[in-house]
Amino acid sequence: MRSRSGKVRRLGVTPQELLQSRFLLDSSLIEKPLDFPAIFGNALPVELEIGSGKGSFLLRRASQRPEINLLGVEWVQKYALYGADRARRAGLGNVKLVCADAAGLFKTSLPDRSLWRVHIYFPDPWPKKKHHRRRLIQPEFLRHVRRVLKLGGWLGIVTDHADYFRQISSALSAVRGLVPVPFHSQTQDGQLVGTNFERKYSAGGKPFYRLAALRYR
């Protein structure tokens, strides 16, 4: 969900066709609590990624874990469209994308105890002090994460920004019902999470900061 640059390939279909194919969710659906069995056509466990970008992590996990459903939340429309088109071309029926603000989505559109995992990889750190209030991961947001996770549900966060990591750790400690646990790789090929940002920052030798938590109450 960091600021993104660069071109994306042309879509193989129109945005309207992506909506009709149901790989891209209509924004009107998030005006009320989401009905995941209706959206995915089954009652499989649902995981959600915030800031799915071009869909690298989302599609990799969906192909490796066909027994789960994945919802990607992306604020930038061109990337939400691109990710949905990649899922369509790959035939991954267990993937849906929605173009939406994650903070608002968690407040109003996600039912209690509806998710098994929430993935947040390389969120925008808003490094200037005057912009810190814009950072997504604050205690109020984490309380919504706790609400929507099932008991035993998992939250995973990775950032390359040390100051933001310290703030996230502090915010997590202020939220009852989430307990820190070790963060393990989310891929089957040795990468930490397998996003474009991870590959970019790995090549530059930047350190990564990670944490995970379970809902226990």
- For residue range 56-85, what is the model confidence (pLDDT) as tens digits? 999 999 999 999 999 999 999 999 999 999
Instruction: Report pLDDT for 4.
Output: 52
Q: Which residues contact 130 (CB under 8 A, 6 or more apart)?
A: none
Instruction: Report pLDDT for 167.
Output: 97
- Position 2 in a domain: no
User: How does DSSP assign 147-167, residue by residue?
Assistant: HHEEEEEEEEEEES-HHHHHH
Number of neighbours of residue 210 by Cβ within 10 angstroms: 17
- Position 51 in a domain: yes
- Position 5 in a domain: no
Residue 125: which CATH number? 3.40.50.150
Whether 3 shows a pLDDT value over 70: the answer reads: no
- Position 42 in a domain: yes
Whether 203 shows a pLDDT value over 90: the answer reads: no
Whether 196 shows a pLDDT value over 60: the answer reads: yes
Residues that are catalytic: 124
What is the tally of structural domains in the chain? 1
Name the pLDDT band for 192 (thresholds 50, 70, 90): confident
- For residue range 79-112, what is the model confidence (pLDDT) as tens digits? 999 999 999 999 999 999 999 999 999 999 999 9
Instruction: Report pLDDT for 92.
Output: 98
Helix (H) or strand (E) holding 18: helix 15-21
- Position 152 in a domain: yes
Find the domain containing 91 and state its range: 15-215
- Position 4 in a domain: no
- Position 165 in a domain: yes
Buried b (16+ CB within 10 A) or exposed e, 109-135: bbeeebbbbbbbbbbbbeeeeeeeeeb
- Say how far apart CA 97 and CA 86 lie, in whole Å: 11
- Position 1 in a domain: no
